[in-house]
Structure 1
Amino acid sequence: MDWLLRTMSGYADRPAMVVGESVYTYASMLDNCREWADTIREHGIRPGEVVSLEGDYSPSVCGAIMALLANRNIIVPLSDNVQHRHDELMDIAQADRSFVFGATGPEIRTYARSGHSGLLAEFIREDKPGLILFTSGTTGVPKAILHDFTRFVERYKTPRDTMRTLTFLLFDHIGGLNTMFHTLANGGTIVAPTSRTAAAICALIEKHRIELLPTSPSFLNLLLLSGAYGKYDLSSLRIITYGTEVMPDSILQAAYRTFPGIQLRQTYGLSELGILRAKSRASGSPWLKLGGEGVETRIVDGMLHIRSDTGMRGYLNAPSPFDEQGWFNTLDEVLTDGDYIRILGRRSDVINVGGRKVFPVEVEDVLLQMPEIADAAVRGEPNPLLGRVVAAVVNLHEPLDPKTLKARIRSFCTGKLENYQIPVKIEIRQEHLFTERYKKMRK
């Protein structure tokens, strides 16, 4: 942690973060960190205590993160969209304190705990700073992922490009944290959005001359559908990175045509392993190569396995997923072409139709080529004869009778998909088909 603070001090007069109309330099960010260090001492927060940080990107949040890590605490970032599960997550993380960042300023709350147990107790005895993230599933109990923060932050020691970056991904997401630490370690500027609509993001790109936009395929589709990109000057944008879910080829090619001067780079990461170094075969290509220092990959039974030096210590509330040699099964099914892979989707999303595999993204890719369909989410539904059949939920550009739509879908998909891949159940919805994290909702 000391090396990061020293690095940031070398950029003292540079702008580190922009929030609304306010610009904060690296010097002011470090002042914020020192103020939080004083607050931590005043409240008697001891090393090893688990502290949640509840809010969004701001100099105060970043200062608190760095001060807590320097104090060898275990931090638990929580964004607003998980507040409905707040008490459950706090219990799983065994949190001792909360720093709540609201409109009237930060509030510190203390919880009565009799101590810590299991893997967390073992980790605390090592007297190291830690990080707890939660898996982002919408159903079931989320898994709490424990990282040794000293190892987690090592990857940012290697100097990289310095860019003005928009923090699109939330700060309790592995991709959002990667954006924050990568930018601060390289003297770049973070621009934090207060709204993540297509128009708001385009306006920020124009106003602050954003160079790097890390986002998701679902947001790129929304951006393309909105037409907002044509109403603002996006000429500063050099790179769009996309990850968190599988990219349908139709969206990727549409983005490639719409933004010919912007590099489109696929990223890959997991909360359990962090963000890996990834190299796209070309801008607009769905094929990528994974690697980097301390990272190994292999394909077993069509699934990607990874072994990484920066992997998590384990789950707080679930068995370890690593095998005896330290390999982690990502459960992502992939195709291979030499050193490159193409991600098809999670095995849990695969629809088994009479013993034949259907990958939702393959069907979504075809549906998104239809002029009637704005967005599509494909899933399996039970069938007494075949086990599962393909069902699709769609957003339409214009109202259409369901019976007519179903006939058009079958006609359009014939010849592009196998018969068993064509959706037999169709549902039309007005609501977006992605979560607050702009990730496709299939469940």
Structure 2
Amino acid sequence: MQWLIDRFATAPQAPAFIHEDRVVTYGQVMETVEALGARLGAEGVAPGDRVALLADYSPEVFCLILALARNANIVIPISPATVVEEEAALAISGCDWFARFDAEGREATFSRHAIAVENPLIAGLIAERRPGLVLFSSGSTGRPKGILHDVDRVAEKFRKARSASRAIPFLMIDHFGGVNTILAITSSLGTVVTVADRSAASICAAIARHGVELLPATPSFLTMLMASGLYRDFDLGSLKRITYGTEVMPQSTLNRLRAAFPGVELQQTYGLSEVGVLRSQSRDDGSLWVRVGGEGFETKVVDGILWIRSDYAMVGYLNAPSEFDAEGWFNTQDQVEVDGSYFKILGRVTDIINVGGQKVYPAEVEDVILELENVADAAVFGEPHAFLGQMVVAKLVLDAPEPAEALKKRVRAACLARLANYKAPSKVQIVEGPLHTARQKKTRRA
């Protein structure tokens, strides 16, 4: 990681962070990294120790991650809104220290917290005096998986400097996409603009107040933003690019974004915690077709499923068998269509609904429903059915109250007009919401 610190030294006066209206320069980042490095030694945090970092974004939190990486520690970031229970996470990774930050994210308190867990992958990094990063899956399909990365390998993707931008790190610090975003911004000597929370109002206010140029977000958040209409209440003229990923984007939401932000580039991204975030190029701003890959990545499609081979892949799962084949290919479990060099992501294999042997992709049903009046958000999933195997169920968040039976008729009529009969929801539920996790990703379950 020393190359990253050296890059900061080339622009000591440039703003690295705007955190709660506090501007922190790259020169100050370097000073803070050095000070925290000295403090690690004074506290007794030894190379190879596992440090659980309990915090969200702030300049000091980022600096501590860099200091821990330079000290060859294993870093376990856990955000306040984590989707994985802290106790369950640390039972997988083990722990030697807690580093807790105050509410402002400025002052860290270190305390011993010994949880003895032996793991050969972590032991291998420690033996080589290499820094590690442990992230966790959400555990939506079972026990969460601990994902171990070599920090130097993750950072290497950003050694080639790119154009600087002022951006919000939308995904949380315990999500690979969040780590990827903050490294991408700082390695290009851009400016990280933090937000107090990830509500539409807070995001829009930060864009307007600080001239944010890049917003990396999830389709679930952008759907909510479009439904709320809050984007009309703020001056978002500084935006140059909106990127979206982690889940399938509804075409209806993309159409609304294109209409609301005609001068803004809309770019689909693609990545997984196991392999990293690939470079991507959307066919055009209104298209869900995307070309992914870039230096250090290879892709192939086998039986309609996307596979990836990556130079930036994880070291491995801490508590599960490897899902890489003998040649280093990873099965993404994402069903895709192919058109030349472009892919269209249809959805995760685990989300597919099987109705009497027929496949239903939740995203295509949600896309139709989201175009209906009075529907703010929709989540489609399968429930067991005695004769068909599964039936299609739709959960809806409404803008205003509406009788359930009338809504069901509207939803079914719209779906039957555009989709095969078996894809129309048999059950429609009205809920208060939200229909997404703390990571702003769609929740598709009863």
Structure 1 residue corresponding to 2:360, chosen from 358, 361, 378: 358
Q: CA deviation at 1:119?
A: 2.0
Q: CA deviation at 1:191?
A: 0.3
Q: Give the structure 2 partner of residue 254 of structure 1.
A: 256
Structure 2 residue corresponding to 1:287, chosen from 270, 286, 289: 289
> Once structures 1 and 2 are overlaid, which stretch shifts more, 45-54 or 335-344?
45-54
Instruction: Tell whether the 8 Å contact from 2:83 to 2:438 is kept in structure 1 after alignment.
Output: no
**CA distance in 1: counterparts of 2:117 and 2:395, whole angstroms:** 46
Q: CA deviation at 1:103?
A: 2.5
Q: CA deviation at 1:226?
A: 1.4
**1:402-413 to 2 correspondences below 5 Å:** 402-413=404-415
Structure 2 residue corresponding to 1:137, chosen from 129, 139, 144: 139
Q: CA deviation at 1:205?
A: 0.7
**CA distance in 2: counterparts of 1:434 and 1:218, whole angstroms:** 7
**CA distance in 1: counterparts of 2:320 and 2:117, whole angstroms:** 19
> Once structures 1 and 2 are overlaid, which stretch shifts more, 392-401 or 116-125?
116-125
**Number of corresponding residues:** 443
Instruction: Tell whether the 8 Å contact from 2:94 to 2:116 is kept in structure 1 after alignment.
Output: no
Distance 1:83 1:413, change over 3 A: closer
Q: Give the structure 2 partner of residue 153 of structure 1.
A: 155
**CA distance in 1: counterparts of 2:417 and 2:230, whole angstroms:** 34
What value does the CA root-mean-square deviation take over the aligned residues?
1.3
Q: CA deviation at 1:93?
A: 1.0
1:82-103 CA-partner distances (Å, limit 9, x unpaired): 2871111112111111111123
**CA distance in 2: counterparts of 1:83 and 1:412, whole angstroms:** 34
**CA distance in 2: counterparts of 1:292 and 1:48, whole angstroms:** 32
**1:195-274 to 2 correspondences below 5 Å:** 195-274=197-276
1:180-200 CA-partner distances (Å, limit 9, x unpaired): 111111110000001222121
> Once structures 1 and 2 are overlaid, which stretch shifts more, 136-145 or 336-345?
136-145
Instruction: Tell whether the 8 Å contact from 2:90 to 2:115 is kept in structure 1 after alignment.
Output: no
Q: Give the structure 1 partner of residue 39 of structure 2.
A: 39
Q: Give the structure 2 partner of residue 57 of structure 1.
A: 57
Letter in 2 for 1:199: A
> Once structures 1 and 2 are overlaid, which stretch shifts more, 27-36 or 110-119?
110-119
Distance 1:382 1:288, change over 3 A: same
Instruction: Give the 3-state SS of the residue equivalent to 1:112 in structure 2.
Output: strand
Instruction: Tell whether the 8 Å contact from 2:95 to 2:114 is kept in structure 1 after alignment.
Output: no
Q: Give the structure 2 partner of residue 13 of structure 1.
A: 13
> Once structures 1 and 2 are overlaid, which stretch shifts more, 137-146 or 3-12?
137-146
1:226-275 CA-partner distances (Å, limit 9, x unpaired): 11111111111000000111101111111111110100000111011111
1:76-131 CA-partner distances (Å, limit 9, x unpaired): 11111128711111121111111111238321121234563332222321211111
Letter in 2 for 1:133: L
**1:62-101 to 2 correspondences below 5 Å:** 62-82=62-82, 85-101=85-101
**CA distance in 2: counterparts of 1:173 and 1:76, whole angstroms:** 11
Q: Give the structure 1 partner of residue 349 of structure 2.
A: 347
1:364-423 CA-partner distances (Å, limit 9, x unpaired): 000111113111000000001000010000011221111111112122222201000000
**CA distance in 2: counterparts of 1:294 and 1:21, whole angstroms:** 37
Letter in 1 for 2:411: I
Q: Give the structure 2 partner of residue 331 of structure 1.
A: 333
**1:82-121 to 2 correspondences below 5 Å:** 82=82, 85-103=85-103, 105-114=107-116, 116-121=118-123
Structure 1: gaps of 5 or more residues: none
Instruction: Give the 3-state SS of the residue equivalent to 2:373 in structure 1.
Output: coil
Distance 1:114 1:94, change over 3 A: closer
Q: Give the structure 2 partner of residue 415 of structure 1.
A: 417
Identity %: 46
TM superposition score normalised by structure 2: 0.97
**CA distance in 1: counterparts of 2:95 and 2:21, whole angstroms:** 34
Instruction: Give the 3-state SS of the residue equivalent to 1:409 in structure 2.
Output: helix
Q: Give the structure 1 partner of residue 298 of structure 2.
A: 296
Instruction: Give the 3-state SS of the residue equivalent to 2:267 in structure 1.
Output: strand
Instruction: Tell whether the 8 Å contact from 2:84 to 2:136 is kept in structure 1 after alignment.
Output: no
> Once structures 1 and 2 are overlaid, which stretch shifts more, 130-139 or 141-150?
130-139
Instruction: Tell whether the 8 Å contact from 2:146 to 2:318 is kept in structure 1 after alignment.
Output: yes
Structure 2: gaps of 5 or more residues: none
